[in-house]
Amino acid sequence: MRIWCYLTHYTHSQQKESCVHLFSLFRVAVTGWLLLCLTSASAVMAGTSNSLMDISTDGTLLVCSNRDNGSISVIDLARLQKSREFNVGHLPEGVSFIGDTHTVAVAVYGEDRIVFVDADQGQQLGNVDVFDEPYGVVSNRSGSHVYVTLDYPGQVVEIDAETRQIDRTFNAGTFARGIAIAEDARRLYVTNYFTAQLLAIDLETGDQVDEWTGTSYDNLCRQVVLNPHREKAYLPHLQSRTTFAHAASSIFPYVAVVNTSEVTERRRRRIKMDSFNGAQVTSNPWEIAVSPDGRRLYVVFSGTNDMYVSNVLDDDYWEIEFERHERLGHNPRAIRVAPDSQTIYVYNALDFHVVAYDAETIEPIATIDVCENPLSDEVLTGKRLFYSALQPMSGRHWISCSSCHPDGDPDGRTWQNPEGLRNTQALFGMAWTHPIHWSADRDEVQDFEHTIRGDLMQGRGLIKGEVHPSLEEPNLGLSASLDALAAYSNTHEFTLSPHAKDGLSDTAERGRELFFSEETKCATCHGGPFFTDSTTGQLHDVGTGTADQSEKMAPAYDTPTLLGVYRTAPYLHHGMAVTLEDVLTTQNPNDLHGKTSHLSVDEINDLVAFLKSLPYKNPQVAAEAAGLLRVEP
Ligand code: HEC
Ligand code: HEC
């Protein structure tokens, strides 16, 4: 009976119930039996997965990328000490040892480059330029090739590790971040950042051959990890429920479990992490690790600074079972397990150290400093607060500023706020484009004290005592922590558009003329180095205020900067323009938003090509030359 249920995958609901019941009764026995079989067999399905840390296959070296410091560090695992640190460039993300070697490939996100480093000799071996935003890196087992996700535009590049040339480029949805390669090197698994969708790419043909979609609320998935013994993949991600403007139901942490085998049932399920042990609320899962023996799964939470340790079950139903909860340092972003499964390593990004733990007892064995803190004390304080879902930022531990603005990026979502629909803005260049918000109702980041204390975050707040209810009253200078939060928020700078690496294309050049023409009038509002007149304090009615019934602040809005719009869809305060074309066509029926109705399809394309090329030069240089002021908290 038991076996029959198991084999037929519960075809009827009644059988399903009794199976579930039986499963809970016999789970332990089944698990023990399967584990016994699996651990005695060789690791047939082991593959590698992207991470901000990696351990060499011989278990002697660990490498981590130090995003804030523009470097990678190599740790000698016998001595548990840092042996080297290399500068690799702006914003390094994924790192991977190549095959069984001590050569490391690191994705330098901010410089669109993969850098190859010899970890023993301390030598940079070469690098490969890619189109934009390299994020996750894995190598195949033999070490012949390295595979890298490009967040924008959503691709994977295959790099020959010997010649350091790009062999092939695969389409991989939109905003590709997580990547894993199967042991047999037949398939790549790739996650899409803003949907948590998992795609499978066949490495022979380069075609997408499968996909596993979650719910429409799934968001911010940076990683996919393969189980070394079973056909399962695990994805850490958020759920952003945009219809609720309070902490209790807006943001949740999840681990998705995907069945990567050919079977059609139970292909993807999700496990809610905050109620996992019924006691602890966690937030912002960043990475997962599965121990090489396949017994344990670890999740680190960057918002609540903690970790879940769970046992992997071989039941195809519960998947994992809570074992323990552990406090970590500030902003843990990476976790890896040694090849013998005996030691685990956690990267606390805002402590700039790696902590080694005994996997059996979860006792810390060593704390290894990986780099200097490159941030000022004030920015470090502000950054820790921005990433924190603990008090005084957040009352119920579900949500932090970074849940919606990870690393200054938007979350690709439009939220139902009390004042109406509001598309999350990027924080890039914000120091130059105050006032802030679509409605320009906030003149300083210190006003986010209201967000911290409001329904959304329900935190105690950073100002001692009451906060003035009016947004006009300055909050600057009332709390060193609040000023620090503002200082950090104002650090985000623009990167140049990948669409204009060799200057403006002919199409974009034609678009530029249209943009600055008398007729379209675009530049009358989107003027100056940041393509906005925001600092004048003027709001404009561009005909967008009537589409949303819940809108309370219509009809005029602050002119948004156009720098970086190539990667911030959807558009407009209400997020109703899916593409830039929509902004200029379907969302501008009466020519209230510049004049566009006279433009031909080709001319709209030209204008869009120009918008996608912004910024094509560093706006700060022009801003400083023009004597514009940057907000200094
Ligand atoms: C639930 C998601 C969410 C959370 C949490 C969140 N924000 Fe936002 N943020 C948004 C949205 C949506 C907007 C646009 C709102 C508007 O314009 O009215 C926004 C706008 C902003 C802006 C304005 C950017 C600009 O260029 O005008 C800043 C600054 C900002 N948020 C900072 C913060 C800080 C600091 C925190 C934490 C205290 C925070 N946010 C928490 C979603 C969020
Ligand atoms: C009268 C001032 C004004 C003019 C003229 C104007 N804009 Fe805008 N633009 C705005 C405002 C205000 C918004 C925000 C409207 C909203 O969110 O509802 C906006 C939004 C946008 C956006 C969306 C940006 C985002 O991040 O979502 C784009 C793209 C844009 N404008 C391009 C243009 C182009 C191209 C032209 C010329 C055809 C133009 N604008 C003319 C004021 C103007």
Nearest CA to ligand 2 atom 5: 594
- Nearest in space to 114 (alpha carbons), one of 149, 77, 73: 149
Q: Tell which one of 404, 416, 445, 534 to mutate to probe ligand 1, the residue whose CB is within 8 A of the most ligand atoms.
A: 404
Burial bucket for residue 590 (CB in 10 Å: 0-12, 13-18, 19+) = exposed
Contact 88, 94 (CB under 8 A): no
Contact 335, 288 (CB under 8 A): yes
Q: Tell which one of 424, 535, 559, 611 to mutate to probe ligand 2, the residue whose CB is within 8 A of the most ligand atoms.
A: 559
489 lines ligand 1 (CB under 6 A): yes
Can you give the pLDDT at residue 314? 87
- Nearest in space to 358 (alpha carbons), one of 350, 366, 348: 366
Q: Measured on CA atoms in the order 484, 485, 487, 488, is the torsion positive or negative?
A: positive
Ligand 2 centroid–CA 557 distance in Å is 9
Q: Measured on CA atoms in the order 174, 178, 184, 185, is the torsion positive or negative?
A: positive
Torsions phi, psi for 130 (to 5 deg):
-120, 175
Burial bucket for residue 274 (CB in 10 Å: 0-12, 13-18, 19+) = buried
425 lines ligand 2 (CB under 6 A): no
Can you give the pLDDT at residue 629? 84
Can you give the pLDDT at residue 3? 28
Contact 130, 157 (CB under 8 A): yes
Can you give the pLDDT at residue 633? 56
Q: Tell which one of 419, 437, 531, 558 to mutate to probe ligand 1, the residue whose CB is within 8 A of the most ligand atoms.
A: 437
Can you give the pLDDT at residue 47? 62
310 lines ligand 1 (CB under 6 A): no
Can you give the pLDDT at residue 28? 39
Nearest CA to ligand 1 atom 2: 404
Nearest CA to ligand 2 atom 19: 559
- Nearest in space to 180 (alpha carbons), one of 54, 297, 298, 283: 54
Distance of CA 523 to the CA centre of its chain: 33
422 lines ligand 1 (CB under 6 A): yes
Contact 119, 145 (CB under 8 A): no
Can you give the pLDDT at residue 152? 97
607 lines ligand 2 (CB under 6 A): yes
Q: Which amino acid is at 621?
A: V
pLDDT along the chain (633 residues), means of 10: 28 34 40 39 59 97 98 98 97 97 97 98 95 98 97 98 97 98 93 98 96 96 95 96 83 95 82 86 96 96 97 91 96 97 98 98 98 98 98 95 97 95 96 95 95 95 91 91 98 96 96 98 97 95 96 96 97 98 98 98 98 96 89 72
- Cβ density class 492-528: b for 16+ within 10 Å, e for less: bbbbbbbbbeeebbebbebbbebbeeeebbbbebbeb
Can you give the pLDDT at residue 264? 67
Can you give the pLDDT at residue 261? 86
Q: Measured on CA atoms in the order 473, 478, 481, 483, is the torsion positive or negative?
A: positive
Indicate which atom in ligand 2 lies nearest the CA of residue 541.
12
Q: Which amino acid is at 180?
A: A
Contact 227, 291 (CB under 8 A): no
Can you give the pLDDT at residue 562? 98
453 lines ligand 1 (CB under 6 A): no
